[in-house]
Chain A
Amino acid sequence: MELITDTNYQYYQGSQLFLGENIAGQKLQCTFDIVLNDAIDSVANYVVEIRPQNDANYSLYTGSNYSLTGYNEITIAGAIPTTTSIRVRAIQKAIWNNYGGYEYVKLSEVISNFMTAYVGSDKLISNARRTDVIFHAKRGLQEFSYDTLKSVKSQELTIPHSLSLPIPQDYVNYVQLSWVDKAGVKHIIYPANNLTSNPTPIIQDDKGLPAQGNYGENIESAQSFTTERWSSENVRNLNGQLDFDEASAYVYGFDWWKLFYGQRYGLDPQISQKNGWFTINERTGSFNFSSDLRNHLLILDYISDGLGYDEDTKVPKMAEDAMYSHIMYSLLSIKPGVPEYIVQRYKKDRSAKLRNAKIRLSNIKLDAFTQVMRGKSKWIKH
Chain B
Amino acid sequence: MAINVNEVYTTVLFILNKEQRGYMTPQEFNSIATQVQLEIFDKYFEDLNLFLRQRNNSNEYADRVKTVEEKISIFERQADITNFDLNQLERFYKLGSVTYKRSSNNPFGPEYPITLEEVTQGEFDLINRSPLTRPSKTFPLFTIKNNVISVSPMIAEITVNYLQRPKNVRWGYIIGSVGQFEYDATTYDPPVYPPNTVPPGPAAGSTDFEISPVDKTDLILKILQYAGVVIRDPQIFQTAGALIQQDEASEKT
B130 close to A (CB within 8 Å): yes
Checking B65, B109, B110, B139 against A134 with a beta-carbon cut-off of 8 angstroms, the contacting residue is: B139
Q: Known contacts A131-B127, A135-B132; is A73 also within 8 Å of B117 by CB?
A: no
What does the 1/0 interface line of A117-146 toward B look like (CB < 8 Å)? Answer: 000011000100111001100110000000
Q: Which residue of A lies closest to B126 (CB)?
A: A131
Q: Known contacts A121-B52, A129-B117; is A135 also within 8 Å of B130 by CB?
A: yes
What does the 1/0 interface line of B109-132 toward A look like (CB < 8 Å)? Answer: 111000101010001000100101
What does the 1/0 interface line of A296-317 toward B look like (CB < 8 Å)? Answer: 0000000000010000000000
Contact (Cβ within 8 A) B115 A130: yes
By a CB distance below 8 angstroms, the chain A residues around B110 are 71
Q: Which residue of A lies closest to B48 (CB)?
A: A121
Interface size on A, residues (CB 8 A): 18
A193 close to B (CB within 8 Å): no
By a CB distance below 8 angstroms, the chain A residues around B65 are 121
How many residue pairs, one in A and one in B, have C-beta atoms under 8 Å apart? 42
Contact (Cβ within 8 A) B139 A130: yes
Q: B52, B65, B115, B133 — which one has the most chain A CB atoms within 10 A of its CB?
A: B133
Q: Min CB distance, B113 to chain A, in Å?
A: 11
Q: Min CB distance, A308 to chain B, in Å?
A: 11
Interface size on B, residues (CB 8 A): 20
Measured between alpha carbons, how far is A56 from B239 in the docked complex, in Å? 91
By a CB distance below 8 angstroms, the chain B residues around A307 are 132
What does the 1/0 interface line of A335-347 toward B look like (CB < 8 Å)? Answer: 0000000000000
Q: Known contacts A69-B107, A71-B102; is A131 also within 8 Å of B141 by CB?
A: yes
Q: Min CB distance, A355 to chain B, in Å?
A: 25
What does the 1/0 interface line of A12-54 toward B look like (CB < 8 Å)? Answer: 0000000000000000000000000000000000000000000
By a CB distance below 8 angstroms, the chain A residues around B115 are 130
Contact (Cβ within 8 A) A139 B132: yes
Measured between alpha carbons, how far is A129 from B115 in the docked complex, in Å? 12
> A71-B110, A129-B119, A134-B132 are known contacts; what are 8 more A-B pairs with Cβ within 8 Å?
A70-B108, A71-B109, A108-B139, A126-B52, A129-B117, A130-B117, A131-B127, A135-B133
Q: Which residues of A are at the interface with B, using a C-beta cutoff of 8 A? A: 68-71, 73, 108, 111, 121-122, 126, 129-131, 134-135, 138-139, 307
A-B contact pairs, 27 of them (CB 8 A): A69-B107, A70-B107, A70-B108, A71-B107, A71-B108, A71-B109, A71-B110, A108-B138, A108-B139, A111-B139, A121-B52, A121-B65, A122-B52, A122-B56, A126-B52, A129-B119, A131-B119, A131-B127, A131-B133, A131-B139, A131-B141, A134-B139, A135-B132, A135-B133, A138-B132, A139-B132, A307-B132
